[in-house]
Structure 1
Amino acid sequence: MFSQLKDDIKSVFDRDPAARSWVEVLLNYPGVHAIIFHRFNHKLWQWNLKTLARWSSQVARWFTGIEIHPGATIGKRFFIDHGMGVVIGETAIIGDDVTVYQGVTLGGTSWEKGKRHPTLEDGVIVGAGAKVLGPFTVGKNARIGSNAVVTKAVPESATVVGIPGRVVRQNGKKVVPFSDQQQELAKKMGFDAYGVADMPDVTAHAIKALLDHQHAQDERMERMCGVLKQLDKNFKIEDAVALKDEDFAPIEESDQQNIG
């Protein structure tokens, strides 16, 4: 246990450039205090001294602002940065070299006994304020963005952001939620489809629907123009007339009058 604690403290220097000395880390890092408490409390839990383990974990919570259930399984070199408000549930399993920031919750979504909390594999980073809820697995080296709410499995080496959480990058490549057809139409409209990856899902779905509708309308217009050209050889397909700023002047004047 002591060698494991030594590794936990050494990991602070690897992941926090503000750490300057062992004394400073031992005195001023609540994340280190919390993991020291937990290593001891988890042993008590394994020895079936569960009430004592729970009581000691509450002392640690009062002392550090970090709540770790003594039943949680935590691997080597676990680092909690800043720490205030971190909650880790009883059946959570955390691998080696995992980092979590302040306000993170590894919680459950069920009152049933058994596995209720997430499993974080090696090398996972969970950003400040993120909520990882449920008995699923977050794959190795995955990244969960700040304030994300994740309720389903995350693949290895993926980056998840948003509410609800969605994968926006995997294995170093951006994940685009649009088809090639939708992206091409978006470019015509002056809209950056790639930017939607950072929007909430509701917004992304709405924009997808608009793009699909616009594409369908374009296809209908092309068919109509084709039929008209067959009926009248003199019929010409011309580009739409470009709108000018002065075309919007009456609308702006009306808006100003309504505001006034």
Structure 2
Amino acid sequence: MNTAPRHGLARVLSKHGVCSRTQAAQWILAGRVSVDGSVVRNPEFPVVIGRHRVDVDGQALDGAPRIYLMLNKPRGLVTTAKDEHGRDTVYRCFDGTTLPWLAPVGRLDKASEGLLLFSNDPAWAARITDPRHGLDKTYHVQVDTVPTPALLQALHAGLEDDGEWLVAKQVEMLRAGGRNAWLEIVLDEGRNRQIRRLLAAHDVGVLRLVRVRVGELPLGGLAKGAWRLLTAAEVSALGGA
């Protein structure tokens, strides 16, 4: 009995990381995609990955070069391909380039900034975001108070919020002024708005939040809004390739 799973053609293209699912449907309707040599115009056409040959503009889907890069995300951009409210997205940083479709690996919310990874390699991205992979993420966070040692200890101890356990793996004070301070916070899991929620539970507001490191990959001196390709060693260190 044939039990190989079938997926819609648009989903197959997006799973391979060559484009978003919406863009895949547009390509298919435009006649740019073929299956086993025949043009298919139905985005839901059933395909068995590994059995059917899928070409885009005559190029084999599996032959698309894999790209891995890091962006210094500016504050005010949302991490999505298209925003229903018309807000600027992180893809504005790639305007004018010849890059293929790349998906964000993880997220940073609109008000956050710093190191954000992109790739068209879904398997690599899945390893990066898998909690079992154990990649620490390091943030520099400006808060609207000067934390006491007891507060730092409480952040490290963690708490439950809306049914989720929020905890910082490491917390330390970097520097403090009269009314605010900069903290370095390390997380080993990626819950939605985890740092902001953890601090808010202790009545601490976030003034700036910058991701400065993923695993052993530092943001370094990359300018805000700029991007660069990862080296082969960096790709392998983060998630293998």
TM-score for the superposition, normalised by structure 2: 0.25
Pick 1 or 2: higher relative contact order, CA cutoff 8 A, min separation 6: 2
Which structure has more helix as a fraction of its residues?
A: 1
- Rg bigger for which structure? 1
